[in-house]
Chain A
Amino acid sequence: MIWMKVAGITVVVVIIACFEWVRLDIGRVRERVVLVSIAGLSWIAALMAVLFPEMPGPIRWVEWLYRPLSGLLS
């Protein structure tokens, strides 16, 4: 089941990246670099979220960052 999810995520990311890759004008190197790095980042992030659901994500990081202040309001 978990491998189905991993395969599904990979397929979605590859489809999105290819879809945009072929639509970019020839010679747009910078665009391609940013596109591939964001696609790679979101692929890694999605795998992390699926394989290690207990691992804290960005919303948890922000929560942790502001936790010392959160007591001031109540």
Chain B
Amino acid sequence: MVDKGKISRGQLAFMLYSLMAYDGLLLIPKIAGEKAGRDLWLSPVWSHLTGIMMVLAMLRLSRMFPEESIIVYSKRILGKWLGIAAGFIFVFYAFYLTSVILRIYTDFISSVFLENTPTVVISGGIMFLVAYTARGGVEVLGRLAQLFIPATIVVFVILSILTIPEWELSNALPILGKGPIPSLKGATVPFTWFAGYILLGLYYPLLSDKRKVTLFVMTAWFGEMITLAASGLISVFLFGEYTSTLNYPFIEVVRYIALGEFFQHIDALLLAVWLPGTFIELATYHYATVTGIAEWTGLKNYRALSFTLGFLVLVVSYWGITSDIDFERYLATSHIWFDFSVLVFGLLLFLVAWIRSKLGALKYN
């Protein structure tokens, strides 16, 4: 690995948790709600039960090559030229997802909180911090995840508890009233997001202790499922089948909270959940891009690339997208297929490695 730093298993679990939980919190109730109606909270459960195969495949693949990153071992699995192409797919995915998440972040902050601020200040500000973190190395990233993510989980739980007086349990009934098909259709988007677990191929060799990693990764997987299902369920309790008509359902949920007369604007607390979480998510993807490119081009030092690539991410997040509506339509259509093809790519890589190791044709060292 190009980075000599190490992270603990718990830090990896927090980073993996951030990959889906925060964007999901915001977007899944709407995207799944359009297909699933009042069963939208079941969609993350279905998607996680099927997505577990990607998690296990990537874990198994990483365990075959515990000291190498996906860029290096894909050359062992597929041969030199195909391996280089596979490395490019991985790097492009990490880079591209950083831009897409940055765009989601910018749209959300500028439409809900900082309406009059120029968007380049919002996205440029966070991207500077993200690039600075990635430049610091994986240990900085891991410790920041350990610092921020538990706090955001606590705030999320408190916010959820505070909405209990407003719950209308009958809104969620009948459960599966139209059969399981609508909620399964709603599960397609969160299922394709499992492509993010391909990052395990880059972070696994950085672990200081490689025993019982499955347990920690599964905890992250389970935490994501609970977070997404809970946020969906609370949205349904409050808004019923109208959830998907709201732009960001969960922020409307938090706006319902009223504590006496002196607690106002609780929605700022949601920002305290969402901002550090998305920051870790962006940094996890950006670090993967930076070290991925450094390994792919055979560099010894990856730090020099962090700010330059950060600038490129910023440019791509603006380039050629004129309106938020266009971008949302893209997220609900073509982006699903993009993520899905990366997911298939990860599974194929695992299958080829597995078959070749069964045939005894794979050299491990």
Residues of A within 8 A of B (CB): 12-13, 16-17, 19-21, 23-25, 28, 30-31, 34-35, 38-39, 41-42, 45-46, 48-49, 53-60, 62-63, 65-67, 69-70, 73-74
Contact = CB atoms under 8 A, between A and B. Distances in A.
B301 interface: yes
Contact of B301 (A25, A55, A74): A25
Contacts, number: 118
B113 interface: no
A67 B335 CA distance: 10
B315 interface: yes
B100 interface: yes
A50 B63 CA distance: 46
B301 A24 contact: yes
Given A46-B311, A58-B96, A31 B320 contact: no
A34 B305 contact: yes
B334 interface: yes
B59 to A, nearest CB: 28
A31 B334 contact: no
Given A24-B301, A58-B96, A59-B321, 9 more contacts: A24-B304, A34-B294, A49-B319, A54-B320, A55-B319, A57-B319, A59-B96, A63-B333, A69-B334
Interface of B: 96, 99-100, 103, 188, 293-294, 297-301, 303-305, 307-309, 311-312, 315-322, 327, 330, 333-338
Chain B interface SS verdict (over half): helix
A1 B101 CA distance: 29
Given A23-B304, A28-B301, A42 B315 contact: yes
A26 to B, nearest CB: 12
6 contacts: A20-B307, A45-B316, A46-B311, A56-B320, A70-B333, A73-B336
B266 to A, nearest CB: 34
Nearest to B337: A66
Nearest to A25: B301
Question: Which of A21, A62, A67 is packed against the most chain B CB atoms within 10 Å?
Answer: A62
A28 B300 contact: yes
Contacts of A39: 308, 311
B334 A63 contact: yes
Contacts of A30: 297-300
B299 A73 contact: no
A62 B318 CA distance: 14
A42 B308 CA distance: 7
Chain B CB count within 10 A is highest, among A21, A28, A54, A63, for A63
A70 B189 CA distance: 12
Nearest to A17: B308
- Closest 8 pairs (CB-CB, A-B): A57-B319, A57-B320, A70-B333, A42-B312, A66-B334, A20-B304, A66-B337, A49-B319
